[in-house]
Chain A
């Protein structure tokens, strides 16, 4: 094909699809390339798409009866876990019942495919209905560079030419490395393996067990015993007739502690509380994918160069600051900002880094980089042994003594707490963590 595109997007995940939607609406001529059989075919997440940005791509998506999302979140739970017990912070509110929802659970194989249909509709309505494409089953082997500026992509023997490339290839960012924005070898230090099972329940059992009404849903994160002493945490999200149950585990930590992710997942599932929670369910899929920790030290050295932008997890845009694991919403927003930058570049007829650096600027000014920058201390703290081992043990130990009624004189809570602290940590450590926590959150 001799024709030149305004933009080629590599990867039809959330970042790539968000970028494509904006490009289509602004009558740009683009090619969105996906290596899977369809958009979403190779994508895995926990996963909740947090925030309200989805409505920017698909306005009033909640009105569609069979939209690609699973459930909206009106119930949040953070659970500390030791060998026998769980102690949860639980928040449920009808405040979250009305759209725009502030988080929806998704299963990517279904969600991304649905979103891609919406993008195709936008293409069909654009000036380039016949010249913009979503192309699946194509693996991009190389971003073609000329004088250090991107000018196309190569797949097998075929080349496609373009003024700009948006790399939205996901966390295993081989093309980001090839264009020189990321090191060839990324060490395991700030990378985790996410592993999960999708477990199906009878609809009525699911609704009753998780207090669901209509399309309401719950998100539950776990720290402590869930990961068997390895850096990371567990999660449980409710889908329409399944749940997503899984965990993330630090790769370097697994290497050092000689742990297997699939064993850790079984360890988590055997916990008495989880065992009761998933009783009667049937596993319908097992999946795994690498995810970054949100530690800035793993981010590519820059997110743009002449003719190229990195969006989503290709740029390691992710954070877990204790409140929520945010990656897909960062992907969505960075895709939007990336596309807006490309549109501006076309207007100015300049796709060099002189224009494209505005992507970084806009991203820095957005909540994405603001949160990544502001919550680095929280990321470090959450990935420390105190947080995934000592604190959950302490909290559960306190819970056990506090809720024990044994017809003996009851001790004051303060004394019970003091005993739990001494057993699993120390007041000095707690003050340090409290100080760090207050500062970082």
Chain B
């Protein structure tokens, strides 16, 4: 059985409000903290949906579109950079599991 890449895996996830282009992010990340004081930048590897990425300059970027609301970053970040909430059903993103 072929292993799946993360983007293939995320391609199997049903997201809410996918047709909406302007969604309200349910997680706010103060990447200034990530990029100034954080010694590990661990969200860039512990997030199961790869919402946190690091560019060539080692800077952390965050996007909420692929978030599957697992909660990992809320615990993993010990620098106070992650303001975590659940998505708004109307104007947020987030998941609807088909199997769960």
- Interface residues, chain A, CB within 8 Å of chain B? 35-37, 40-45, 107-112, 137-139, 171-172, 174, 185-188, 191, 193, 195, 197-199, 242, 251-252, 254-255, 258-262, 266, 269-270, 275, 278-281, 283-290
Contact = CB atoms under 8 A, between A and B. Distances in A.
Given A42-B69, A286-B13, A266 B3 contact: yes
B99 A107 contact: yes
A283 B88 contact: no
B98 interface: yes
SS class, residues of chain B in contact with chain A: loop
B23 interface: no
A108 B97 contact: yes
25 contacts: A35-B86, A35-B89, A37-B96, A40-B97, A41-B95, A42-B94, A44-B100, A107-B99, A108-B100, A110-B99, A137-B90, A139-B86, A171-B71, A172-B84, A172-B86, A174-B85, A251-B75, A254-B46, A261-B46, A262-B6, A280-B1, A284-B12, A287-B100, A288-B48, A288-B72
A153 to B, nearest CB: 14
B95 to A, nearest CB: 6
B4 A285 contact: no
A285 B72 contact: no
A372 to B, nearest CB: 20
A44 B10 contact: no
B89 A287 contact: no
Interface string B58-85: 0000000000111110111010100011
What are the 4 closest A-B residue pairs judged by CB atoms, nearest first? A109-B100, A108-B100, A286-B9, A288-B48
A286 B95 CA distance: 11
A290 B75 contact: yes
A255 B94 CA distance: 24
> Taking each of B10, B46, B94, which has the highest tally of chain A beta carbons within 10 Å of its own beta carbon?
B46
A288 B48 CA distance: 7
A37 B76 CA distance: 28
Interface residues of B, number: 40
A185 B77 CA distance: 10
Contacts of B1: 199, 269, 275, 278-281
B90 to A, nearest CB: 8
Nearest to B94: A42
A138 B97 contact: no
B40 interface: yes
Given A139-B88, A191-B75, A255-B76, A107 B100 contact: yes
A139 B91 CA distance: 12
Contact of B46 (A110, A112, A171, A193): A193
Given A41-B95, A174-B84, A259-B45, 11 more contacts: A36-B89, A44-B70, A172-B69, A172-B74, A187-B78, A195-B48, A260-B45, A260-B48, A278-B1, A284-B99, A290-B74
A263 to B, nearest CB: 8
A254 B42 contact: yes
Contacts of B4: 197, 283, 286
A194 B95 CA distance: 16
A33 to B, nearest CB: 11
Contact of B12 (A275, A279, A286): A286
B98 A138 contact: no
Given A188-B78, A251-B72, A262-B6, A36 B96 contact: yes
A187 B82 CA distance: 13
B46 A255 contact: yes
Given A40-B100, A198-B99, A287-B100, A270 B3 contact: yes
Contact of A283 (B12, B72, B74, B76): B12
Given A193-B72, A283-B9, A290-B70, A254 B89 contact: no
A290 B96 contact: no
A288 B6 CA distance: 12
A285 B98 contact: yes
Nearest to B80: A185
A281 B2 CA distance: 9
A346 to B, nearest CB: 29
Contact of B70 (A36, A255, A288): A288
Nearest to A189: B75
B3 A290 contact: no
Contacts of A260: 45-46, 48
Interface string B5-26: 0100110110010000000000
B26 to A, nearest CB: 9
